[in-house]
């Protein structure tokens, strides 16, 4: 069932999103060659506790961590690991969900570790732009297919990358995963019509090579690119309004100015 959120619920989700965004901004100060990905997990747990929030991923379907920390060819659901030491040129994705007094927010961000490479820089730039192209289609009266088609055309047709099919965005609110599913591929003009008050995530996962994923990791969670190529992801939680899509997990109010809720 799809629920339309009230102004009060949206306001609380924005508070949750601000905490999540603040955690990501804090990560920029600690992510560097030589640290383990477990230090990212510890930072997130500490940050959420200090801000009276709950790391919602812990315990979700048996998952044990506050963050998913995926690196290079890992598409998503990588575990934070004490023995995973970051090095120059790594492409790091940190995905996390925050529960603030019952209001959920979900955001993934990508980071180039230390000295980057042109391949990493381009993949990150294309993936981030794809996210915003998808957000721009999250308009009242549009359809879910409009979001996916915009992302797929830009990433695959214009840039030759692989647009992952196995994982999609979703509704979010009092619970982590709600209806509807939000694919990052598809056909414009098709799918569910979007309405004001819907809160969703858009979270394209874009591979430098094939779009196909391998999901045979012994840990039962981590997905990797089928051809070993790099993978990148960016994700925002947003609300669809009569005034356009409004991002609830913005890390940069200046960059996201037109997407911010009015107080």
Are 96 and 55 within 8 A, CB to CB?
Answer: yes
pTM here is 0.97
Q: Which residues of 102-136 are buried (b: 16+ CB within 10 A; e: fewer)?
A: ebbbbbbbbbbbeeeeeebeebbebbbbbbbbbbb
Are 151 and 136 within 8 A, CB to CB?
Answer: no
Mean pLDDT across 134-145: 98
Omega within 30 of 0 (cis) for the link into 180: yes
- Domain spans, the chain: 7-259
Residue 260 has a CB neighbour count (10 Å cut-off) of 14
Binding residues: 77, 95, 106, 170, 177, 203, 235
For residue 141, is pLDDT > 70?
A: yes
Place of tokens 């694919």: 183
d(CA 253, CA 263) in angstroms, rounded, equals: 14
d(CA 129, CA 135) in angstroms, rounded, equals: 10
Mean pLDDT across 202-221: 97
Give the pair of three-digit tokens for residue 19: 């905490």
Binding residues for a divalent metal cation: 95, 106, 170, 203, 235
For residue 163, is pLDDT > 90?
A: yes
For residue 263, is pLDDT > 70?
A: no
Mean pLDDT for all residues in the chain: 97
CATH architecture, domain 7-259: Alpha-Beta Complex (3.90)
Mean pLDDT across 164-190: 97
Binding residues for substrate: 77, 177
d(CA 143, CA 160) in angstroms, rounded, equals: 25
Q: What backbone torsions phi and psi does residue 91 show, to the nearest 5 degrees?
A: -105, 110
d(CA 19, CA 148) in angstroms, rounded, equals: 28
pLDDT one-digit tens code per residue, 7-37? 999 999 999 999 999 999 999 999 999 999 9
Q: How is the chain split among helix, strand and coil, in percent rounded to 5? A: 30, 25, 45
Mean pLDDT across 91-106: 98
Give the rounded percent of residues in the chain with a pLDDT score beyond 70.
100
For residue 261, is pLDDT > 70?
A: yes
Give the model's pLDDT for residue 262.
Answer: 82
Give the pair of three-digit tokens for residue 207: 């591979």
Mention every residue, 6+ apart, whose C-beta is less than 8 A from residue 177: 170, 171
pLDDT one-digit tens code per residue, 68-79? 999 999 999 999
């Amino acid at each position: 069932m799809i629920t339309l959120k009230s102004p009060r619920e949206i306001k609380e989700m924005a508070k949750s999103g601000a905490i999540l965004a603040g955690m990501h901004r804090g990560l920029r100060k600690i992510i560097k060659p030589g640290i383990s990905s477990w230090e990212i997990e510890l930072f997130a747990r500490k940050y959420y506790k200090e801000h009276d929030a709950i790391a919602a991923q812990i315990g979700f379907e048996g998952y044990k961590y506050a963050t998913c920390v995926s690196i290079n060819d890992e598409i998503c659901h990588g575990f934070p690991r004490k023995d995973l030491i970051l090095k120059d040129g790594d492409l790091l994705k940190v995905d996390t969900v925050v529960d603030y007094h019952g209001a959920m927010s979900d955001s993934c961000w990508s980071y180039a570790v230390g000295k980057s490479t042109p391949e990493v820089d381009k993949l990150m730039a294309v993936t981030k732009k794809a996210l915003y192209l998808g957000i721009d289609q999250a308009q009242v009266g549009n359809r879910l297919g409009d979001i996916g088609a915009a992302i797929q055309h830009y990433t695959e047709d214009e840039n030759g990358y692989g647009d992952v099919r196995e994982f999609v965005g979703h509704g979010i609110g009092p619970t982590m995963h709600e209806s509807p599913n939000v694919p990052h591929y598809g056909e414009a003009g098709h799918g569910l019509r979007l309405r004001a008050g819907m809160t969703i995530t858009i979270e394209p996962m874009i591979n430098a090579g094939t779009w196909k994923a391998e999901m045979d990791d012994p840990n039962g969670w981590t997905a990797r690119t089928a051809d070993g190529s790099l993978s990148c992801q960016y994700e925002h939680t947003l609300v669809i309004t009569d005034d356009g899509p409004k991002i609830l997990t913005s890390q940069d109010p200046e960059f996201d100015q037109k997407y911010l809720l009015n107080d």
